[in-house]
């Protein structure tokens, strides 16, 4: 329940449970889960709820929840909501997570057993402050809550796994932003931060742009400060000033100017005053500034990707590489390695076949690794991938995965008919929004 329990009363044949939520929050979303669910305790104020087959795995996966909550409190101020629970949804859940107050809904695709889904929990925990305590005024200001939340998510991950991890995740986010803007087209008004949604369905504006372009704004401000403790103090000031309210870009910018004028060195205030707000907030395309990310974790990924690209350009008929070069990489680096290969020219089908044999990504338990592997196979027109793609998209209903995979399959002309047939066969396993967005990729609603 998105509230704290205040008591139960036994009635004949029934139990009446009562809950109370003291914190006001705009009800822009209503969600109800019905099913056979159990819970496990994962911290002094946290339980994880899931179907019986999933609940122990989920408890194991999310055992850092209390630590993340404490880190978030040290940045944002006290957690005011009481309990923080997590509910694992069935595979058809279309999003990574949903920040219902006191009860985060989460996709089961975040549970991989290798830590690749942990940042989703960090993200949803951060929403307890940015998104729930302070909400966006409407969907034209949606980016504000995601900008801070992505920034905080990476800050929490950085406090647990070290600053290079924060930098590594942010660098990956920048690549996602580039891809997303390329997809929309750099002049597309939906790649602006501050949107004009007149006559539009907010669903059509849903992409990585508000998340990644938005978090670049907060990253930029943090860098301007050159003092992360002072910047954390600004975050607490902002949250305390606007708690229980919904805000616009104007409110946010006025608040940072006000805090900076009072608390930060004069040159920071001057730089902030001179910030090209039109370019940052009102213009489409990439932001006017790209951070210099520390590359200590991404270097190994780049080297391995280069090894494969060089191998690809040779004339090898037998697979000569070994799995050894992949072993030292942590799962998030494997994801990055695959993402790098996805950015260059499509690699040859025989090279993909070699990679399939020695790395066996097809059997990866991580949805994020498998997703990128499937995209890579589609790009190289590697036929054995087709069946895996359809099985993967049938097994879950997450927009992020299925929209991209069906888009890529649609572009593979020889597979187009089968792709559309498969969509019609499996679409009813997904929730409406996934059906709609994937159908649009297949040009079915023109």
Instruction: Enumerate binding residues for Zn ion (CB under 5 A).
Output: 146, 149
CA atoms within 13 A on the CB side of 289: 18
Q: How far is the CB of 154 from Zn ion (least distance, A)?
A: 13
- Count of H helices and E strands in the chain? 18, 9
For Zn ion, the closer of residues 166 and 208 by Cβ is: 208
For Zn ion, the closer of residues 149 and 339 by Cβ is: 149
Q: How far is the CB of 330 from Zn ion (least distance, A)?
A: 24
Q: How far is the CB of 130 from Zn ion (least distance, A)?
A: 9
Q: How far is the CB of 389 from Zn ion (least distance, A)?
A: 27
Tokens representing residue 328 in the block: 């030292």
Distance CA 170, CA 389 (A): 28
Distance CA 153, CA 172 (A): 14
- Please pick, among 79, 211, 220, 400, the residue that the annotation labels catalytic: 211
CA 337 to chain centre: 18
CA atoms within 13 A on the CB side of 170: 32
The CA distances from residue 88 to 49, 62, 93, 358, in Å, are 6, 11, 9, 33
At 4, which helix (H) or strand (E)? strand 4-11
SS3 content of the chain, % helix, strand, coil (to 5): 55, 10, 35
For Zn ion, the closer of residues 144 and 438 by Cβ is: 144
For Zn ion, the closer of residues 123 and 192 by Cβ is: 123
> Is 400 labeled as catalytic in the residue annotation?
no
Residue for token pair 């229980």:
244
CA–CA–CA angle 190, 254, 27 (5° rounding): 60
Cα-based torsion angle of the residue sequence 156, 157, 158, 164 in order, rounded to the nearest 10 degrees: -160
For Zn ion, the closer of residues 155 and 334 by Cβ is: 155
Nearest to 1 by CA among 103, 138, 113, 122: 103
> Is 211 labeled as catalytic in the residue annotation?
yes
Nearest to 191 by CA among 220, 213, 176: 213
Residues facing residue 15 across a β-bridge: 10
Distance CA 168, CA 25 (A): 34
- Per DSSP, helices labelled H in 320-415 are 331-343, 349-359, 367-379, 385-395, 399-411
At 14, which helix (H) or strand (E)? strand 14-20
Q: How far is the CB of 131 from Zn ion (least distance, A)?
A: 6
- Please pick, among 124, 153, 336, 441, the residue that the annotation labels catalytic: 124
For Zn ion, the closer of residues 25 and 300 by Cβ is: 25
Q: How far is the CB of 3 from Zn ion (least distance, A)?
A: 21
For Zn ion, the closer of residues 81 and 373 by Cβ is: 81
Q: How far is the CB of 96 from Zn ion (least distance, A)?
A: 8
Q: How far is the CB of 127 from Zn ion (least distance, A)?
A: 6
Longest dimension (CA), the chain: 77
Distance CA 341, CA 320 (A): 19
DSSP state of 90: P
For Zn ion, the closer of residues 130 and 351 by Cβ is: 130
For Zn ion, the closer of residues 126 and 272 by Cβ is: 126
Q: For residue 432, what are the contacts with CB-CB under 8 A and spacing of at least 6? A: none
Q: How far is the CB of 146 from Zn ion (least distance, A)?
A: 5
The CA distances from residue 326 to 166, 172, 303, 305, 334, in Å, are 22, 19, 11, 10, 8
Q: Annotated catalytic sites, by residue?
A: 124, 211
């Amino acid at each position: 329940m998105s509230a704290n329990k205040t008591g139960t009363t036994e009635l004949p044949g029934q139990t009446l449970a009562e809950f109370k939520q003291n914190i006001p929050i705009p009800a822009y979303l209503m969600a109800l889960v019905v099913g056979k669910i159990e819970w496990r305790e994962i911290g002094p104020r946290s339980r994880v709820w899931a179907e019986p087959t999933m609940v122990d795995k989920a408890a194991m996966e999310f055992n850092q929840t209390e630590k993340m909550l404490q880190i978030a409190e040290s940045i944002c101020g006290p957690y005011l909501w009481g309990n923080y629970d997590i509910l694992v949804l069935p595979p058809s859940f279309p999003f990574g997570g949903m920040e219902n107050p006191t009860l985060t809904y989460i996709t089961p695709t975040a549970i991989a057993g290798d830590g690749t889904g942990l940042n989703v929990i960090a993200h949803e925990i951060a929403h307890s402050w940015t998104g729930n305590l302070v909400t966006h005024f409407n969907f034209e200001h949606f980016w504000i809550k995601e900008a801070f939340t992505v920034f905080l998510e990476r800050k929490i991950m950085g406090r647990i796994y070290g600053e290079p991890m924060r930098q590594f995740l942010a660098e990956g986010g920048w690549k996602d932003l580039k891809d997303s803007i390329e997809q929309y087209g750099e002049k597309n008004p939906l790649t602006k931060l501050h949107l004009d949604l007149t006559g539009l369905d907010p669903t059509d504006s849903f992409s990585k742009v508000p998340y990644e372009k938005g978090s670049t704004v907060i990253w930029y401000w943090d860098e301007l400060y050159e003092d992360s403790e002072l910047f954390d103090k600004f975050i607490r000031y902002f949250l305390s000033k606007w708690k229980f309210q919904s805000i616009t870009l104007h409110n946010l910018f006025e608040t940072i100017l006000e805090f900076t004028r009072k608390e930060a060195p004069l040159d920071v205030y001057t730089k902030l005053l001179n910030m090209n707000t039109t370019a940052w907030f009102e213009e489409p395309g990439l932001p006017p500034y790209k951070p210099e990310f520390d590359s200590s974790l991404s270097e190994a990924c780049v080297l391995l990707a280069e090894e494969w690209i060089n191998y690809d350009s040779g004339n090898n008929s037998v697979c000569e590489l070994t799995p050894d070069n992949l072993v030292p990489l942590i799962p998030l680096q494997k994801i990055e390695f695959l993402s790098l290969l996805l950015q260059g020219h499509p690699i040859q089908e025989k090279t993909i076949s070699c990679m399939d044999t020695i790395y066996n990504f097809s059997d990866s338990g991580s949805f994020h690794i498998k997703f990128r592997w499937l995209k890579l196979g589609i790009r190289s027109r590697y036929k054995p991938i087709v069946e895996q793609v359809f099985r993967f998209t049938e097994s879950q209903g997450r927009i992020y995965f299925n929209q991209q995979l069906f888009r890529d399959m649609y572009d593979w002309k020889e597979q187009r008919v089968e792709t559309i047939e498969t969509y019609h066969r499996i679409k009813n396993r997904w929730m409406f929004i996934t059906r709609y967005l994937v159908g649009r990729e297949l040009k079915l609603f023109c």
